[in-house]
Structure 1
Amino acid sequence: MKFIVDQQVEDIELPENLRLNTFLQEFHQDCPHPECNFGFYGFAFGQSPFHVPQIMQTALQKNSDKGKYAPVPGIEELREAIATYNKHYFGMDIDPKRVYVGPGTKELIFNLFEILHGTVILPTPAWIGYLPQIRFLKKNYHMLPTKSSRKINADDLKKLALRLHDRQKILILNNPNNPTGLLYSRLELEEIADICREQNITVISDEIYAQTTYDMKEFVSMGKIYPEGTFVTNGLSKSHAAGGYRLGYVIFPQYVTELKQQFKKILATEYTAVSTPIQHAAVAGFEISKEMDEYFEITRRIHEIMGEYTYNAVTAIDGVKATKPEATFYLLANFNHYSSELAGSKIQVSQRFAESLIQHPYHTAIVGGDSLVLERTDFSARMAFVDYDGTKAFENYKNNKPKTASDKLEFVKTNAPRIVAGIKMIDLYFQHIKKNASSKIECKFDSLRVPG
């Protein structure tokens, strides 16, 4: 029997991270060189390298017998813990009834797109997951390039909003930002909020990296600045290294009642509720405790050390610029200095650049600019500095905290040798590009295209 797939699904491309993973697996299997056995230097995948906090693992084990369906918005203990968590760390005083729990922040953002009518404003560069969801739901959208600052400019936002005629506009705000690692200041958020109030713009503020902010005094939630018009999303995946737990939450704007009932209807229709044992494990993760405070502090400091090293090492490559991360485990590297040399090697778009960098002998994985909703000819790339054993690094930091610049450098070399080696390979790649060594880059290119 031949099955017919709905055209709406046919039109959706495989998410870029999964597509790249497929390509890397095929490349690894086909590479004839013995030295390929090490795999590749992984700057492409944004997953925390650390262990799930032991307090959460223990709670999951203790509650493994919880087999009943949970309430659609989440169990009461978890919603209360999330409210306390947000007040303690982010200064947001919220009613637990404003909190809805879902199977990951990604799913909740999709649910918000489903329920909110209007045109979506997508600042670029952007996380790779937003645009496929917007297209899948056939929503109107407009890009908002952030230019050289890599942050939303309030004047540019206003100019775009004035051209849009929907009664409601929806701005995606990702703070701290993936892929840049940048953080919005209170003043920048206030300027954006002023335009949102004036132009009736609803904000979905994706704050999944909030707890990774290197200087927590600098983080401000848009939910504090624009509480009447902001949906704040967050979860366990990045701060608690628990992406596999698939648990996120959304905080609804103030004074919203009917919309929550409509949202509840969507959640109940699509997945009923999040796994009950996972919700009980999340309670332990969101409760205020010395164990979690230590976990956040150590992982935050390690991200900062790795980010500082990656920024310094990448920008030490001739002609390369990058955003200096203030949070997350990403930076955006700008390789456009080599545009003409890349073109001379028949590399004219960013996807081909990313593909060529994974070839022998470089074996280095990045996420190219077109996957970040930049122009295809923009040779910027996201680099995730997480290719190391997080559990080992956590214990080493805990036992011997690096204090000086030389201590931190040694910490990176000892705990993250693949990050060090991978950046050296990027440098080597551009040395070869400058020497027009295109034969080395193209030797296997045609047979190793990324699927799709």
Structure 2
Amino acid sequence: MKFLVDQQVQDIEMPENLKLNTFLQEFHSDCPHPQCKFGFYGFAFGQSPFPVPKIVQDSLARNSDKGAYAPVPGIPELRSAISKYNRHYFRMDVDPKRIYVGPGTKELIFNLLEILHGTVILPTPAWLGYLPQIRFLKKNYHMLPTRANKKISPNDLKKLALRLQDRQKILILNNPHNPTGLLYNRLELEEITDVCRDQDITVISDEIYAQTTYDFSKFVSMGKIYPEGTFVTNGLSKSHAAGGYRLGYVIFPQHVSDLKGQFKKILATEYTAVSTPIQHAAISGFEISKEIDQYFEVTRNIHHIMGEYTYHALSAIDGIKATRPEATFYLLADFNSFAPDLQKADILTSQKLSESLIIHPYHTAIVGGDNLVLERTDFSARIAYVDYDGAKVYQNYLDCKPKSNGESAEFVKNNAPKIVDGIKMIGNFFEHLRRESIPYVQAKTE
């Protein structure tokens, strides 16, 4: 029997991160060169390398017997803990009734896009997960290219909004930002808010990296600046290194009532509720404690050290420009000055650049600009600096905290050698490219 697949599903491509993961696994198993045994330099995957906080692990073990269905919006104890968490860290007073829990922010953003009518405004470069969701839901959308500073221009946002015919516009704001690692300050958020209020723009503010802000005092939630028009999403995956727990939450705007009922209906239809043991475990992660405070401080400091090293090491390579990250564990590297040399080597797109870097002898994995909603011919790439043993590095940091820039550089060299060597390999690739024009070898990515 032949089964027919709905055309809407056939039109959706495999998410780029999963496609890349499959390609890397196949490449590693097929490569005949002995040098491949170490794997590859992993700048492609955005997953925190640290262990889940011990108190969260212990709480999960204690609550493994919780087999009953949870309420659709989340168990009351968790919603209350998230409310207190936002008051303590983000200075937002949020009624627990405004909080809905879901299986990760990715799913919650999808759910919001399902119920919100209107045209989506997507600033670029962007996280690779937004656009497939928008297309799957057949939403009208418009790109909003950012300028040299890689941040939304309020004037550009206003000009675009004035051209859109839909009564409601939906801006996806990712702050701190994946893939650049940049942070919007209060003034920048206020200027964006002025446009949103004037043009009746609803904001979905993806703040999953908030706790990774290196100078945490500088983080401001859009939910505090524009509380009547912002849906804030956050969760456990990046701050608590618990992506596999699949737990996120959304804070609804102030003074919204009827929409929450519609949202609850969607959640109940699609997945009933988040795993009950996971919800109970998450309470410990969102409760205010010395252990969690220390965990946030140590992990963000390590991300900062790794980010500074990666930024300076890449910027030291002639022809490469990079964003200097203020949060997350990413930066955006710009290789466009090499465009003439890449084109001579028949490397005409960012995807082909990614494929050329992963093949022998370079073994370096990046996420190319076409996966970041940039033009296919934009030779930019996201660099994730998390290729190290998080548990070991966490303990080494506690044992001997770097006290200077020199000590921080040594800390990276001693604890993250694949980051160090991977950056050198990127430099080697472009040096070889300019010197002798590397012939492009087609890599199988399907």
* TM-score, normalised by the number of residues in structure 1: 0.98
Whether 1:242 and 2:242 are equivalent positions in the alignment is yes
Whether 1:90 and 2:85 are equivalent positions in the alignment is no
Whether 1:450 and 2:445 are equivalent positions in the alignment is yes
> Which residue of structure 1 aligns with residue 392 of structure 2?
392
1:396-417 deviations in whole A, cap 9, x for unaligned? Answer: 0011111111111111011100
- Post-superposition shift, 1:449? 2.2
> Which residue of structure 1 aligns with residue 307 of structure 2?
307
Amino acid at match of 1:377: T
1:198-241 deviations in whole A, cap 9, x for unaligned? Answer: 00000000000000000011000000000000000000000000
Instruction: Report the Cα distance in structure 1 between the residues aligned to 2:64 and 2:200, rounded to whole angstroms.
Output: 45
Instruction: Report the Cα distance in structure 1 between the residues aligned to 2:31 and 2:110, rounded to whole angstroms.
Output: 38
Aligned pairs for 1:317-396 (under 5 A) are 317-396=317-396
Q: Is the 8 A contact 2:74 2:274 kept in 1?
A: yes
Instruction: Report the Cα distance in structure 2 between the residues aligned to 1:409 and 1:324, rounded to whole angstroms.
Output: 16
> Which residue of structure 1 aligns with residue 200 of structure 2?
200
Amino acid at match of 1:200: D
* TM-score, normalised by the number of residues in structure 2: 0.99
User: Unpaired segments of 5 or more residues in structure 2?
Assistant: none
Amino acid at match of 1:351: Q
1:375-429 deviations in whole A, cap 9, x for unaligned? Answer: 1110010000000000000000011111111111111011100000000000000
**Aligned partner of residue 170 in structure 1, secondary structure:** strand
Instruction: Report the Cα distance in structure 1 between the residues aligned to 2:139 and 2:358, rounded to whole angstroms.
Output: 35
Instruction: Report the Cα distance in structure 2 between the residues aligned to 1:40 and 1:51, rounded to whole angstroms.
Output: 22
Q: Is the 8 A contact 1:170 1:201 kept in 2?
A: yes
**Aligned partner of residue 148 in structure 1, secondary structure:** coil
**Aligned partner of residue 148 in structure 2, secondary structure:** helix
Amino acid at match of 2:116: L
- Post-superposition shift, 1:364? 0.2
- Post-superposition shift, 1:450? 1.2
> Which residue of structure 1 aligns with residue 132 of structure 2?
132
Aligned pair count? Answer: 446
Query: Percentage identity across aligned positions?
Result: 75
Instruction: Report the Cα distance in structure 1 between the residues aligned to 2:221 and 2:232, rounded to whole angstroms.
Output: 8
User: Unpaired segments of 5 or more residues in structure 1?
Assistant: none
Amino acid at match of 2:288: I
Whether 1:270 and 2:265 are equivalent positions in the alignment is no
Q: Is the 8 A contact 1:341 1:436 kept in 2?
A: no
Q: Is the 8 A contact 1:44 1:367 kept in 2?
A: yes
- Post-superposition shift, 1:149? 1.1
Q: Is the 8 A contact 2:123 2:143 kept in 1?
A: yes
Q: Is the 8 A contact 2:236 2:242 kept in 1?
A: yes
Instruction: Report the Cα distance in structure 2 between the residues aligned to 1:363 and 1:262, rounded to whole angstroms.
Output: 48
